[in-house]
Amino acid sequence: MGLKETIKNLPHTPGVYIMKNDEGTVLYVGKADNLKKRVSSYFQSSRSHPGRIKSLISQIAEISHLPTATSAEALIYENGLIKQLSPKYNVSLRDDKSYPMLKITLKERFPRLMIAREKKEPGSVYYGPYTNAKLLKEALKILRKLFPLRTCNKMPGRKCLEFDMGQCLGPCEGRVGEERYGAIVKELRLFLEGRHSELMKLLTERMKQLSKDEKFEEAAECRNRLEALGSVHTDRVRYGPVSEINELRRVLGIKSDPEVIEAFDISNIMGDEAVGSLVCFRKGKPDKNEYRKFKIKTVSGMDDYSMMREIVRRRYARSLYEKKRLPDLIVIDGGRGHLSVALDELKKLGLDNLPVIGIAKPARRSPLDSNGRGKGGEFERIYVKDKKEPILLPEESKALHLLERIRDEAHRFAISYHKKLMSKRIWKRS
């Protein structure tokens, strides 16, 4: 996608934009109240830019963006990305006394997060500085919701309104221990340092362990924070469908972007008129010319695994015979069992090098089970070859959204064919 097309597709919303050269090196990270308006301003011929900005513009080959809900969020994410990426054209604000910073009081038993003007307290850690004090105050409110640290200067002997609002864990009443509180401080530091991938991994692993230890309340807190933070993961910086595919490649650990994805589903009622479906997505969009319907021929009764075997075998035996291009990724609607039979059939055809995954919805709706699923935030489970545990992606993951669209389309296509065959049977009997 060219720069003109990229700018044309930018939203009129707050966010962070990232400018790169033709080698993919990050040149500049900026924030905006209106992404489209701000980024467009760099390329207006009527604008007179200083030499530094002209030099930047001459090197821009690629622009990506991270939409945010508010300008305050953009302020925080911009600073984290600058700290992480160290762009050449971002000016360092060396006079810290002129600008506000975020401060975490690490020397305290239960640290606090606050705004400070000077780095004068040993044992505290500082982030920033930030150029907009008003936005920073708004951002502080957001951060306190995500990371509920205490706000009181001196801890009282009883809980306060912040606790009742869910914005403090209540260390004053002994409702949270130092270890659990310290874990949240660590998460906050990772977030402010722009280490979002590391933070998401840490939260996911902690959530699973807490669930296994039956500490369901703490696991639920981790899950809620994971879902809230999903929208700010660095990997979500995107251009549209292309970035969904790129994120999916990274999540699955496959060698190249899966531009052609084929997905399978089964539809049957008590084994009657059982059918299978194949849908194809090319560069994130349906390619309906490649859709295929399968009327199950070799299986009777309720045996979804054998039905899946049949349609996978028929599809790729034919593809090999006709020397068709094979997909970059195969998606199976189902869990570990469905994935296993598909892998087995592909191995028989000599296609065990093809990436294949299974995607399954949560089977139970307990408050929180060992995989971290729970009411109000059940996770899809993505099963991959040679991994015992499924991959859990945050609700805001674009890769997850892409997989869900593909899976749902395969399901819709299978259901529509099944209904058509059932209605024909009813019509013949009448």
- CA-to-CA distance for 65 and 1, rounded, in angstroms? 14
Q: Is 293 helix (H, G, I), strand (E, B) or coil?
A: strand
Stretches in the chain below the pLDDT threshold 50: 94-96, 231-240, 363-377, 430
Topology of domain 3-85, CATH: GIY-YIG endonuclease (3.40.1440)
Nearest residue to 9 (alpha-carbon basis) of 40, 48, 50: 40
Which one-letter amino acid corresponds to residue 63? Answer: I
Nearest residue to 77 (alpha-carbon basis) of 15, 26, 27: 15
CA-based radius of gyration for the chain: 26
Cα–chain-centroid distance for residue 253?
Answer: 15
Question: Is 241-429 a domain of CATH 3.30.420.340?
Answer: yes
pLDDT at residue 357, rounded to an integer: 97
b or e along 107-135 (b: 16 or more beta carbons within 10 Å of the residue's beta carbon)? eeebbbbbebeeeeeeebbbbbbbeeeeb
Nearest residue to 336 (alpha-carbon basis) of 373, 391, 266, 377: 391
Q: Residue ranges per domain, the chain?
A: 3-85, 96-236, 241-429
Q: What is the dihedral of CA 89, 24, 84, 99, to 10 degrees?
A: 20
- CA-to-CA distance for 83 and 89, rounded, in angstroms? 13
Q: What is the pLDDT of residues 229-268, one digit of tens each?
A: 654 444 344 334 576 887 888 788 888 889 999 999 998 7
pLDDT at residue 165, rounded to an integer: 66
pLDDT at residue 368, rounded to an integer: 40
pLDDT at residue 190, rounded to an integer: 84
Q: What is the dihedral of CA 309, 314, 320, 324, to 10 degrees?
A: -110
Q: The tokens of 104 are what?
A: 């975490």
- CA-to-CA distance for 415 and 215, rounded, in angstroms? 40
Contacts of residue 405, Cβ cutoff 8 Å, sequence gap at least 6:
281
Cα–chain-centroid distance for residue 44?
Answer: 34
- CA-to-CA distance for 305 and 302, rounded, in angstroms? 9
Q: The tokens of 75 are what?
A: 């302020």
Q: The tokens of 21 are what?
A: 């050269």
